Amino acid sequence: MTIHYPDGRSYRDDGQRQGESRSVDYGKRGMTLEEDLNVTNRYYLETDRAVIYKKPTPIQIARVDYPRRSAAKITEAYFRKASTTDYNGVYRGKYIDFEAKETTQPTSIPLKNFHSHQLAHMRRIKRHGGIGFIIVRFTRGGSVYLLDADYLDAAWTEGTNGGRKSIPLSLFQKHGYPIETHFAPRLDYLTAVDAAYF
């Protein structure tokens, strides 16, 4: 369920803020990347292919009322920045961890879509034997790619050392794995995971 507020912003059932990377309408479906991934993960769960969830948005609670003992009501709270990536779970015996972003830029995704603590998190994941990657949708062309976290890491290092501040689409085309859109699973990223890691 999506709740729409007078100012036009919307909040969804899963408590997820539609912030920073904004809701983008990319055709008939009109679904954000996050919505597509939620539907996909539910499908994977129901078909017993993997157990992967989006983590709840971390919220800083400042005040709570207790109108009734059984229903605490939060009356003041704020969104906090996540210190990890948004998605994790288990697939084919491996720990899976990823961050998903969409960009309206036609030929690259700006590095500012990611945060240094997310980079640090993905480095740790890989060091401990997990699978870490990003999923990026280029909303104009409609293409979606899986790219191993090492490439994000390399681009990040380059960017912080005075190099380019974005990852070009061409790098995704060369080193990434395209993710196909179907009816179900909507965004079949595990097939790309199969190709990339197994």
Interface with a second copy (CB under 8 A): 3, 5, 7, 9, 11, 13-15, 17, 19, 45, 48, 50-51, 53, 55-64, 66, 71-80, 84, 88-97, 121, 124-125, 127-130
- Shortest Å, Cβ 181 to a second copy: 24
d(CA 33, CA 187): 9
With a CB cutoff of 8 Å and minimum separation 6, the contacts of 71 are none
Residue nearer to a second copy on the CB measure, 18 or 143? 18
- Shortest Å, Cβ 74 to a second copy: 4
Quick one: how far is CA 12 from the chain centroid?
A: 15
**84-119 burial by CB neighbour count: b if 16+ within 10 A, else e?**
bbbbbbebeeeebbbbbbbbeeeebbebebbeeebb
Residue nearer to a second copy on the CB measure, 84 or 181? 84
Q: Which amino acid is at 19?
A: G
Residue nearer to a second copy on the CB measure, 92 or 174? 92
Residue nearer to a second copy on the CB measure, 94 or 165? 94
- Shortest Å, Cβ 125 to a second copy: 6
- Shortest Å, Cβ 13 to a second copy: 7
- Shortest Å, Cβ 197 to a second copy: 13
Residue nearer to a second copy on the CB measure, 109 or 149? 149
**HSE-up (13 A, CA, CB side) for residue 174:** 6
